[in-house]
Amino acid sequence: MSSLSAVNADLHCHSVVSDGTLTPEQLAQRAHANGVKLWSLTDHDELGGQERAKEAAAALNMNYLAGVEISVTWLGQTIHIVGLGIDPQDSGILDGLRRTREGRSGRAKQMSEQLLKAGIPGAYEGALHYAGNHDLISRTHFARFLVERGVCKDTEQVFKNYLVEDKPGHVPHCWANLDEAIGWIKSAGGVAVIAHPGRYKLNLMQRDQLFEYFKDHGGLGLEVITGSHSPDQYQEYGKIAQQYGFLASRGSDFHDPSESHIDLGTLPLLPEHLTPVWSMFH
Ligand code: AMP
Ligand code: MN
Ligand code: MN
Ligand code: MN
């Protein structure tokens, strides 16, 4: 019997329901074509694509876990928590996510005002044009608009020069609390996973504090193999998963065929010695 780690699982990606550019059905087809055997759509702060994703996966005989990526503010930093295997009808998580989304429109208007001062008019309307879901206007939609306007050559350049701390178009925002987000996921029957841990600007002490806090509040998983990590970071976060007893997850964080460097289902498999998060659902 081959090990459970060897499953081509992709448990992190985005559709037009948040800041991806493909529909849930197109993502399911792409994942399946790339050999994914267990898939999850994890739109930001939103469960509106779950029914379609589940049905599309079923039609392709691909295993599916309902998912979400929740925006959290912890020690003044934005941290992303993926919830896997949740009940997408659960009223607690639906209500929590609705409240988490609420501030997005106001924030987008403030971002637009700042960009106007930097000489870039019409950014709110421009970004909204890219948002498949007007409740979920995100920095990614602004980034696409800035590329369209020729302000930057690609979205990667946008996130170096705009929309981030100390650059035009950055508006600080307060998202959900970490303990609340873990609570919504757990109450909805799911497993909470820290997304792309290598991306946060935390010193080693803060990072350990995050893992301890997360674990103490019922968090179980850590993304080890993610499109945001280098091969060195696969090793580093694999060790941390073992050290803390976290279940390991794997996900591309795919958003768009031309923007995303890593396609669905194409990352290295989880190392054999780690316990995959999907062992919880086996
Ligand atoms: P928001 O939730 O509106 O703050 O937008 C966050 C999204 O912006 C993330 O989910 C990514 O899709 C995108 N993003 C943030 N930083 C970067 C980056 N450095 N390069 C590309 N996309 C990024
Ligand atoms: Mn995103
Ligand atoms: Mn993220
Ligand atoms: Mn993501």
User: Measured from the CB, is residue 155 less than 6 Å from ligand 1?
Assistant: yes
In the reported structure, the alpha carbon of residue 140 is separated from the centroid of ligand 2 by a whole-number distance in angstroms of 7
The mean per-residue pLDDT over the stretch 116-132 comes to 98
pLDDT over 80 (residue 1) = no
Within-domain flag for 79: yes
Which pLDDT band holds residue 2 (cuts at 50, 70, 90)?
A: low
Residues 60 and 189 in one domain: yes
The mean per-residue pLDDT over the stretch 100-110 comes to 97
Which of 22, 109, 159 is the best mutation target for the ligand 1 pocket, counting ligand atoms within 8 Å of the beta carbon and taking the most?
159
In the reported structure, the alpha carbon of residue 227 is separated from the centroid of ligand 4 by a whole-number distance in angstroms of 9
Residues 224 and 114 in one domain: no
Residues 133 and 244 in one domain: no
In what side-by-side order are the strands of the sheet with 77-84?
67-74, 77-84, 191-194, 221-226, 247-251
Residues 123 and 263 in one domain: no
Residue at which a domain ends, from 126, 161, 196: 161
| Strand ranges in 34-87 using DSSP code E only, listed in sequence order | 38-39, 63-64, 67-74, 77-84
User: Measured from the CB, is residue 156 less than 6 Å from ligand 1?
Assistant: yes
Mean confidence (pLDDT) of the chain: 97
How open is the CA angle 206-207-208, to the nearest 5 degrees? Answer: 90
pLDDT tens string 128-158: 999 999 999 999 999 999 999 999 999 999 9
Residues 192 and 248 in one domain: yes
What pLDDT was estimated at residue 234?
98
Residues 6+ apart with CB under 8 A from 19: 44, 131, 136, 138, 140, 141, 255
In the reported structure, the alpha carbon of residue 140 is separated from the centroid of ligand 1 by a whole-number distance in angstroms of 6
Residue span of the structural domain in which 119 resides: 104-161
Which of 12, 14, 16, 19 is the best mutation target for the ligand 1 pocket, counting ligand atoms within 8 Å of the beta carbon and taking the most?
19
Which three-class secondary structure state does DSSP give residue 134?
helix
169 dihedral zone (left: phi>0; alpha: psi -120 to 50; beta)? left
Q: Which two tokens stand for residue 227?
A: 């499109």
**Displacement of CA 245 from its chain's centroid (Å):** 22
In what side-by-side order are the strands of the sheet with 9-10?
9-10, 38-39, 63-64
Residues 111 and 92 in one domain: no
| Helix H or strand E segment including 276 | none
Residues 54 and 189 in one domain: yes
Within-domain flag for 225: yes
pLDDT tens string 212-264: 999 999 999 999 999 999 999 999 999 999 999 999 999 999 999 999 999 99
What pLDDT was estimated at residue 171?
97
Within-domain flag for 4: no
Within-domain flag for 169: no
Structurally, the chain folds into a number of domains equal to 2
How open is the CA angle 163-167-171, to the nearest 5 degrees? Answer: 50
What pLDDT was estimated at residue 149?
97
CB 75 within 8 A of CB 206: yes
What pLDDT was estimated at residue 282?
80
CB 138 within 8 A of CB 153: no
Within-domain flag for 256: yes
Ligand number, closest to the Cα atom of 143: 1
Which pLDDT band holds residue 126 (cuts at 50, 70, 90)?
A: very high
Within-domain flag for 170: no
CA dist 78 and 71 (Å) reads 7
In the reported structure, the alpha carbon of residue 263 is separated from the centroid of ligand 1 by a whole-number distance in angstroms of 17
Residues 151 and 240 in one domain: no
pTM over 0.95: yes
User: Measured from the CB, is residue 71 less than 6 Å from ligand 1?
Assistant: yes
Q: Which two tokens stand for residue 204?
A: 């080693």
User: Measured from the CB, is residue 144 less than 6 Å from ligand 1?
Assistant: no
User: Measured from the CB, is residue 21 less than 6 Å from ligand 1?
Assistant: no
What pLDDT was estimated at residue 116?
98
- Which CATH number characterizes residue 139's domain? 1.10.150.650
Ligand 1 nearest atom to the CA of residue 104, by list position: 3
User: Measured from the CB, is residue 19 less than 6 Å from ligand 1?
Assistant: yes
pLDDT tens string 162-201: 999 999 999 999 999 999 999 999 999 999 999 999 999 9
CA dist 260 and 10 (Å) reads 14
Render the burial of 242-260: b for 16+ CB within 10 Å, e for the rest. Answer: beeebbbbbbbbbbeeebb
pLDDT tens string 48-58: 999 999 999 99
